[in-house]
Structure 1
Amino acid sequence: MSTYRADGEFKRDARYISDRITADGRDGWPVEPGRYRLIVSRACPWASRAIIVRRLLGLEDVLSMGVCGPTHDARSWTFDLDPGGRDPVLGIERIQDAYLKRFPGYERGITVPAIVDVPSGEVVTNDYAPLTLDLSTQWRAHHREGAPELYPEALRGEIDEVMQLVFKDVNNGVYRAGFAGSQEAYEAAYARLFARLDWLSARLERQRYLVGDTITEADVRLFTTLVRFDPVYHGHFKCNRQKLTELPVLWAYARDLFQTPGFGDTVNFEHIKRHYYVVHRDINPSGVVPLGPDLSGWSQPHGREALGGRPFGAGTPPTAPADR
């Protein structure tokens, strides 16, 4: 979902299906255990947010999850990881089928994450930004005991502010660099990206998490970009001033999160690399997937405990994933 301005700047197409699943059902979609299915790919950073939040909150038993393969064609993501190439719950081969079931002739992007209404087989929403916030605020009655407060009311103003900066300059910033259509647009995106990474390094030098002393939605959103930085963004998207491993504060911060239950145990580096290097043929025409980088450093001690803070606040870690 992207367009290009006349100056070659990448612009994300944000025309998402904006329906929301809420406790009061005001959009016609009430929270209801077992009714909906979250469709993701472990390759996609936007979908990875939903995977992490769902697991941290313990929503596995009330919101099932279907996992698409790491690559897709011009039509849509496919369920090629499942027997027979069909999602076992929805019975479809492509997530596109759920979009067309609700909107025949749908012409916008067929994206993940998406939530599908299982009884009707129709897509409900693919609006990834509010999707994870709604899991925290609207699905609260179904959170596991000990679930963390990922979007605490008292900190929402600061969380929103930080998340917006991270989105503009980092989450979307790597794409603005990688898909830039001119040298000038690339250099501007590159400068904004690394200026923001420097700002984040300074912010995180003396505090363990982005906002407050526990993990919040802001950390989830930054993590999904950082974990992809060296495997794909550094080379594939030309974000190469430094590798993540050469940014001491952010590298330690990312390892801290990676080693926290609910984060690293949802990551599949092979899916990540295969998606970017195979699908983006305009950037990588050969489709060759690099063997590196060495990923063993993710398990090394990070030392961030010295800054205090508790990952889950008064809560507890999630149990081991049942649907990795």
Structure 2
Amino acid sequence: MASKMQLRVKHKGGQSVISSLTLTSRVDQLLDELSKSTQIPVHLVKILRGFPPIALDISDKSVSLGDCGLQERDTLLVEELPVMQSSEGLPLAHSEDGVELPKDAPTGILMRKVVPSDNSCLFTSIGFCLSGKPDPTSSSFMRELVASTVVNQTEQYNEALLGKPNKEYKKWILQDDSWGGAIELAILSSYFGLEIDVVNTQHSVINKFGEDQNYGQRILLIYDGIHYDPLYLEPFDGSPNKTLFPTSDSWILQQAEELAAEARASHQFTDVNHFTLKCMVCQCFLTGQTQAQQHAKETGHTNFGEVTSSS
């Protein structure tokens, strides 16, 4: 018996996953499932695949999905063909371009760019969003920027907030194996003058840094409890990928929430209370965030590395 395949479906109404079909299923069965998922009538379903998106030939409804070139975990873009009236007043579907979309409608697919798990993933992710490409030099610059900020703005970033004296925090954040978090996000949001929205897959929430500053643009990161990755948009029209978004566009946040919910449903997050850490100073192993904090308090050791490949 053929194993079930998983297809990710993107459409104007959101995202969904179809997991009831196999490679031997027919095109007409796929259309039925897509119609149920998108609420688009079967005869008006248009399927695009790949990048840039190319229309899938579904003229022969009896062809198998495997013969159509579909593969396990493919992402399908589903559009609704516009309806025109014939001379007899009957509705006709056509596939011409130029359909006017709602002003706040999605213009592409929000995707995740996986960056190295090297304890600098937060800085690398922000750097990717700013330049559109991975830049290994961005981490050092951002660490130095944070270090300078915490020693020069001691009233805003005081010891109570930092959890240690400002000079110690400066020394700590400059080390390559120190992880960035909320403090770094707040500082970098202010420096770059943009909103940084972090999608938390464990809790399916979005934390917005710089939201109260009314910045005109935002970038999006996704966070699984340990690791940060940047999010980017693959436009439907084949134009270059986008990493900067107007803060007035609400649809991009909806796509980000759906991406987080999808990741949570497939357990793509780290439970911070149970993951294993290694103290890089004394080499002892610790379980969870609480043990790490207690160890730091007792020994003064603050450099940790995650043991598993999740970090």
TM-score (norm 2): 0.25
Q: Which structure is higher in RCO with an 8 Å CA cutoff and minimum separation 6? A: 1
**The structure with more strand, counted as a fraction of residues:** 2
| Greater gyration radius | 2
TM-score (norm 1): 0.24
